[in-house]
Amino acid sequence: MVQKAERVLSPRNQGGTRSGARGGRPVGNVTRGTTNPNRMRRVDRWLTGPQAWRLRAAAHPLAVDLGYGASPATAVELFERLAAVRADMQVVGIEIEPERVRQAQALERPGLMFQMGGFELPVTGNPVLVRAFNVLRQYEEADVAGIWRLVQDRLAPGGLFIDGTCDEIGRRAAWVALDVERPLSLSLSMRFGAFALPSDVAERLPKALIHRNVPGEKIHAYLQAMDKAWLEAAPLASFGSRQRFTAMCRALLDAGWPIQDGPSRWRLGEVTVAWEAVAPGELGP
């Protein structure tokens, strides 16, 4: 059952403990839990690509799949993908709904476990990676900053928190990456053929941005710039979508947008921009 949303505040704002737990209760609400196998492949490919250095450098290679949903499939996939980068990786799938945890525990193995909890992250040690996909989307926008801070406070040095959203089968995805101090970047990743314009991904923006895609907001300007560059690269369409998308990213970079990573990512239909270029005022760095 989906729980009626409660306000979720950071412990700094509610006078609680660092763990954020409310009288021993997990912090958060039961969500719909919709998921599908391989739905998170785009973000996982980014985590095991440009961000793999964080896993290799971690003193304690612990990752958390926060709010994995009604099926533990994506948590199992995360474990298998991260283990390919670092064999001693430990992954904990956390869910707030007890029955989901009970069912998932049948799939436990060395390095992979499941337990009940919420944004307080009831794990031993500080994770180097926390992935929360299609979770914060079901909360209030006013709660986002507090939830971010709660999770950030639990990260290991060099750790990363991913707040993302994607469609039902992972063809369009968007995620914000945060370290222990601040949001770092916004990544957009789309399967070629699954969009007419890059701005089609707008319906999958994370909660912090989805209501800000209006004139006067930075994210709106960024998506409009993407569309313009995509349309201007139309002559390259005969050479394939990869070449056209790469040309779009180069045009954005030339226009002054702080685009990160490079052609090897662009050819995947993925583009990452520094957070300050798209951040709404009250959630900026």
Per-residue pLDDT tens for 17-65? Answer: 344 454 568 888 877 667 788 999 999 999 999 999 999 999 999 999 9
Q: What is the pLDDT of residues 187-245, one digit of tens each?
A: 999 999 999 999 999 999 999 999 999 999 999 999 999 999 999 999 999 999 999 99
Q: Can you give the length of the chain in residues?
A: 285
In the structure, what pLDDT confidence band is assigned to residue 11 with cuts at 50, 70 and 90? very low
Phi-psi region of 69 (alpha: psi -120 to 50; beta: other; left: phi over 0): left
CATH fold, domain 11-208, is Rossmann fold (3.40.50)
- Residue ranges covered by each domain of the chain: 11-208
pTM of the entire predicted model = 0.90
Question: Which of 173, 194, 176 lies closest to 185 in space, CA to CA?
Answer: 176
Alpha-carbon distance 122 to 19, whole Å? Answer: 8
- Provide DSSP, 112-159: EEEEE--TT---SS--SEEEEESSGGGS-GGGHHHHHHHHHTTPPTT-
Would you state the pLDDT for residue 9?
52
Rounded to 10°, the helix 241-254/218-232 angle is 130
Would you state the pLDDT for residue 260?
96
